[in-house]
Structure 1
Amino acid sequence: MSQKDSVIHLVAGGVAGTVGAIVTCPLEVVKTRQQSSKSGFHHLPQIAQEPPGGSQTTCRTVSPSQRRRLWTTTRHSRPQVVALSGYVTPSTDTLNIVQCLKHIIKHEGPLALFKGLGPNLVGVAPSRAIYFATYSQAKLFWNGLLPPDSPMVHVCSASCAGFVASSLTNPIWFVKTRLQLDMNKNSNMTAFECVRRIYAKSGILGFYKGITASYMGISETIVHFVIYEAIKAELVSHHTQYSTEKSSRDFFEFMAAGAVSKTVASCIAYPHEVARTRLREEGTRYTGFWQTLTLVFKEEGVRGVYRGLTTQLVRQIPNTAIMMATYEAVVYVLTTRFGTEFYDKEAN
């Protein structure tokens, strides 16, 4: 692969990541809030309605045993206790995406849906650029050691790319998560203020809290790209039998390939995302990857380690489809414009 091809991969990856991040930012905020132990999205109380007889349940009418149960319960904490003026019926249901969006807009304003967008835009372009550039170079390296374009080549290449990208950009995502978890309506905390607070409290190492969970997330990247490359290879092989010309249909097929591969990968490796968000919260309750997963599972069950999965899938399908289609489109435009033979080599 020539230096020109590497630059094209770098630019295409950056543009693709930026476009996807802007379009899906509100869903990213909702997903992070659902994963967190502090948002309350997964245990907001349901206040009992006034019964038909007209009597209203209050602190005075709740029996002492009921009051003790409400105050001492560990599974449903502060949101239930706060609402004691109207007897609370605990709910284990997670608010759906629309309810979460409405809740954020009502209590924090519409701009809160874009909290963390600054660091996201700063980080997504270099992150995706680093990832795609490392992936293409690693693929070239592993093709020289292993059977060319075999599944193992894709696994090794994706692992290298994920490790490098996570190591270099983790501080940016740490700041983004902290900003997204800031639920104070009157908060004017900027990314720079967030950086200052983290550094003052924990130093440089504070920005790498949760990095282990990010490394565990490489498994998602591996599954994603193995499936994507397999589907893409089949599509390229099929089309070269009939025509060497690229068409708009090809880009839609790449979008579908990206969406399918990311959906499968997200379902398999999702718990690492919950652990990563919990580790990035303020406080010392969560200290390590396995400790976090164990604690969440113990206190919240299987549903706890899959908090926000629906939002993740709803977000990732358009995000990945847009990102992959944009990436392929930019690569095609640039290779056509600068006369490289990238697609010819892919077909062969």
Structure 2
Amino acid sequence: MSNDNVAHALSGAGGGALSMVVTYPLITLSTRAQTESARSQTSEQGKAQKLTAVEAAKQIIAREGISGLYSGLESALFGISITNFIYYYFYEGTKAIYQQTNPQLSTAQSMIAGAIAGSATSVLTNPIWVVNTRMTVRDTDGEKATTLSTIRDIIHKDGVGAFFSGIGPALVLVINPVLQYTIFEQLRNAVEKRRKMTPLDAFFIGALGKIVATSVTYPYITLKARLQLRRKNNSESSSLIQGIKNIIERDGVSGLYKGLSTKVLQSALSSAFLFFFKEQLFAAAVVVLALIRNLRARK
């Protein structure tokens, strides 16, 4: 393993976890908005009421308390740490290969690096996000859902294959980090031609890249969330095209964009904080890995 790759992976994992804690209530609101119609199919109350983000937050707090805004945080922190570690390890590894001949990545090279890292990450971490989605939108019946109880429930009711629900949209959504990191790399190159990039630069550039990527890919984000929630006895199709058609038939085109404003805000803040924290954690990770390497050399 390259020490730089591991340092990037560790700082990415740490930055992702910190940004997740800061923005998680927004993740809860956007995920519930995305899956609102799918859950209301089996609800005794019938059609779900359309709420603003603020009204939805008040409703969750009234029904579940403040902790309701953090449903599934445990699995999300685990998931984002693993996801970012895998992503950055593959992404920086691919970048290092290209940078042997050209220090600054071209647009095409950035996209290829993002596609390789995104595909590996999607396949390896999909089960984690299935569990997290189920926990985030669980129906409240007075019992506190844990990660282990949710895993057991999925296996018992839907089988092991359910852990890969939504893998189709997840692979399509590889375009999300491809767009995000391509924009980030190109803007970073532009900044570094003039001066050294600061954590604050990373904050704003990271936010901009994520806003564009999330806005473009949001219909597939909605479909992925619904498929991850899907039960065996649910009629939601696992086909990408049919899944999109089902949502449009049931909720109209606007159904593909439920929770968009909340998701864009969350994604922008999450990405901004991720890059901000990562820039600062990277130096610390390099020092720690150097100390570990020196300790091993002395033995």
TM-score interval, smaller chain: 0.7 to 0.9
Q: Residue 17 of structure 1 aligns with which residue?
A: 16
Q: 1:146 to 1:232 in 2, by over 3 A?
A: closer
Which of 181, 184, 197 is 2:137 aligned to? Answer: 181
CA distance in structure 2 between the aligned counterparts of 1:21 and 1:157, rounded to whole angstroms: 24
Identity across the alignment (%): 26
Is 1:267 the counterpart of 2:223? The answer is: no
- Aligned-residue Cα RMSD (Å) equals 2.3
Give 1:161-180 correspondences, 5 Å limit: 161-180=117-136
Which of 194, 206, 211 is 2:167 aligned to? Answer: 211
| Preserved contact between residue 107 and residue 185 of structure 1 (Cα < 8 Å) | no
Q: Residue 322 of structure 1 aligns with which residue?
A: 273
**Deviation (angstroms), 1:235:** 1.1
**Deviation (angstroms), 1:256:** 0.4
User: Where do 5+ consecutive residues of structure 1 fail to align?
Assistant: 41-76, 81-90, 241-245, 340-348
Q: Residue 26 of structure 1 aligns with which residue?
A: 25
Residues 167-214 of structure 1: CA deviation (Å, up to 9, x unaligned): 111111000000111131512221111111111233321100111111
Q: Secondary structure at the match of 1:33?
A: helix
Is 1:125 the counterpart of 2:81? The answer is: yes
TM-score, length-normalised on structure 1?
0.76
Q: Which has the larger radius of gyration?
A: 1
Which of 75, 83, 94 is 1:138 aligned to? Answer: 94
Q: Residue 192 of structure 1 aligns with which residue?
A: 148
Which of 109, 113, 131 is 1:157 aligned to? Answer: 113
**Deviation (angstroms), 1:298:** 2.1
**Deviation (angstroms), 1:145:** 8.5
Which of 42, 46, 62 is 1:78 aligned to? Answer: 46
Q: 1:147 to 1:25 in 2, by over 3 A?
A: closer
CA distance in structure 2 between the aligned counterparts of 1:232 and 1:148, rounded to whole angstroms: 10
Which of 224, 236, 240 is 1:286 aligned to? Answer: 236
Higher helix share: 2
Q: Secondary structure at the match of 1:239?
A: coil
Q: 1:192 to 1:333 in 2, by over 3 A?
A: closer
**Deviation (angstroms), 1:220:** 1.1
Q: Residue 101 of structure 1 aligns with which residue?
A: 57
CA distance in structure 2 between the aligned counterparts of 1:298 and 1:150, rounded to whole angstroms: 41
TM-score, length-normalised on structure 2?
0.88
| Preserved contact between residue 146 and residue 152 of structure 1 (Cα < 8 Å) | no
Is 1:310 the counterpart of 2:258? The answer is: no
Q: Which amino acid aligns with 2:21?
A: I
Would you say how many aligned residue pairs link Structure 1 and Structure 2?
Answer: 283
Q: Which amino acid aligns with 2:11?
A: A
Which is bigger in relative contact order (C-alpha 8 A, separation at least 6)? 2
CA distance in structure 2 between the aligned counterparts of 1:202 and 1:184, rounded to whole angstroms: 20
**Deviation (angstroms), 1:18:** 0.4
Residues 203-249 of structure 1: CA deviation (Å, up to 9, x unaligned): 32110011111111111111111101111111111105xxxxx7xxx
